[in-house]
């Protein structure tokens, strides 16, 4: 639980992140994602509740095993990239010499080898962001916490970052990251939690989340006519070529049989689960409605 000036920011978020997994904390703006992560990391203390980081109640005790990329990026502008990475490693217990050596190697591997001795103020925002990310993993932490890591990056750097996250997971690290961009979560996360209004509203796999919504069907009748609509569910919409509708609870088979019997035939049929984006919108909308009802 966390309240700022009488306004509750986090009202009850219960999370458990399995080891070696890429775990996403999703939520709309102002949902309490950053506050939750900051509490977990010990930057701020909760007003109430319990937290444990890598099994320790005091997050400071394990800060050397954790890497963190904050939402608001921060580097000393006058520092050289290599020094900035080594400094962040040194704060987490890595000696300077090793930090400098690894910084050079990591920057080289990330395509920034030409800028190791460039000052941060001389770098583009994307480059500086990548340097900061490298700084947060230079000490090879067991847990990497990334707060909105993709914001401000161009598509090429976003791809780069996704690859880096996967390689860290392959190294054995656990990755916990927050985002409100569903495509990244859909591609990367093995498990997600959705936070809205300071509360956890969902926890499970991406498929679990998508499974919250019914299947969507697209049906093209042989006669290309609009008359088939009478045999389809109430939400069916015809676009002049195909019908789109939500698959009813009992499945699509009885409906398809009646369409065939009525002579409409099946020229085309596809069924698919909605994406994480739709599931997220649904979860957040339901949460808002529930909160509004609770307030009323």
| Site residues for other proteins per CB under 8 A | 4, 38, 41-45, 47, 60, 63-64, 66, 68, 70, 72-79, 87-88, 90-93, 135
Closest approach of other proteins to the CB of residue 39, in Å: 9
- Beta partners for 4? 7
Report the nearest approach of other proteins to the CB of residue 217 (Å): 48
H or E element: which one contains 8?
strand 7-10
Minimum separation from the CB atom of position 38 to other proteins (A): 8
Q: Which is nearer to other proteins, 136 or 179 (CB)?
A: 136
Q: What is the C-alpha separation between 207 and 191, in angstroms, rounded? A: 9
The span from the CA of 292 to the CA of 296, in Å, is: 6
Q: Which is nearer to other proteins, 4 or 171 (CB)?
A: 4
Name the minimum Å distance from CB 60 to other proteins: 6
Give ∠ CA 146-149-150 in degrees, rounded to 5. 155
Nearer to other proteins, 94 or 195 (CB): 94
Nearer to other proteins, 30 or 265 (CB): 30
- 190 Cβ neighbours under 8 A, 6+ residues apart: 21, 22, 23, 205, 206
Report the side by side order of strands in the sheet with 268-272: 237-238, 243-246, 216-220, 268-272
**Of 24 and 141, which CB lies nearer to other proteins in the complex structure?**
141
Q: How far is the CB of 144 from other proteins (least distance, A)?
A: 12
CA distance 161 to 124: 16
Which residue, 67 or 274, is less far from other proteins as judged by CB? 67
Burial class (CB in 10 A: 0-12, 13-18, 19+), 58: exposed
Enumerate residues 6+ apart whose C-beta is below 8 A from 184: 24, 150, 158, 162
Q: CB 59 → other proteins: shortest distance, Å?
A: 9
Among residues 35, 28, 17, the alpha carbon closest in space to that of 173 is found at 17
What's the min distance (Å) between Cβ of 66 and other proteins? 8
Written as one string, the DSSP assignment of 188-207 is: H-SEEEEEETTEEEEEE-HH
- Which residue's CB is nearer to other proteins, number 74 or number 250? 74
């Amino acid at each position: 639980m966390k309240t700022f000036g009488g306004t509750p920011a986090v009202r009850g978020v219960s999370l458990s992140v399995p080891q070696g997994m890429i775990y996403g904390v999703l939520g709309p703006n102002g949902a309490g994602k950053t506050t939750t992560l900051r509490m977990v990391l010990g930057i701020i203390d909760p007003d109430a509740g319990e937290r444990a980081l890598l099994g320790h109640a005091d997050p400071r005790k394990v800060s050397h095993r954790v890497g963190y990329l904050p939402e608001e990026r921060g580097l000393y502008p006058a520092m050289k990239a290599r020094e900035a990475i080594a400094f962040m490693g040194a704060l987490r217990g890595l000696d300077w010499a090793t930090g400098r050596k690894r910084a050079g190697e990591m920057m080289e591997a990330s395509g920034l080898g030409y800028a190791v001795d460039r000052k941060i103020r001389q770098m583009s925002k994307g480059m500086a962001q990548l340097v900061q990310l490298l700084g947060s993993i230079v000490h090879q932490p067991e847990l990497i916490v990334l707060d909105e890591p993709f914001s401000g990056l161009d598509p090429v750097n976003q791809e780069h970052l996704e690859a880096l996250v996967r390689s860290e997971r392959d190294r054995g690290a656990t990755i916990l990251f927050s985002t409100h961009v569903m495509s990244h979560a859909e591609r990367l996360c093995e498990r997600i939690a959705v936070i809205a209004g300071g509360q956890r509203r969902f926890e499970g796999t991406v498929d679990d989340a998508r499974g919250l919504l019914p299947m969507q069907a697209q049906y093209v009748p042989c006669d290309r006519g609009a008359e088939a609509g009478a045999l389809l569910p109430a939400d069916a919409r015809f676009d002049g070529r195909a019908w789109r509708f939500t698959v009813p609870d009992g499945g699509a088979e009885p409906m398809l049989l009646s369409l065939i019997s009525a002579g409409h035939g099946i020229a085309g049929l596809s069924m698919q689960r909605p994406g994480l984006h739709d599931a997220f919108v649904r979860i957040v909308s339901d949460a808002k409605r529930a909160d509004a009802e609770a307030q009323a």
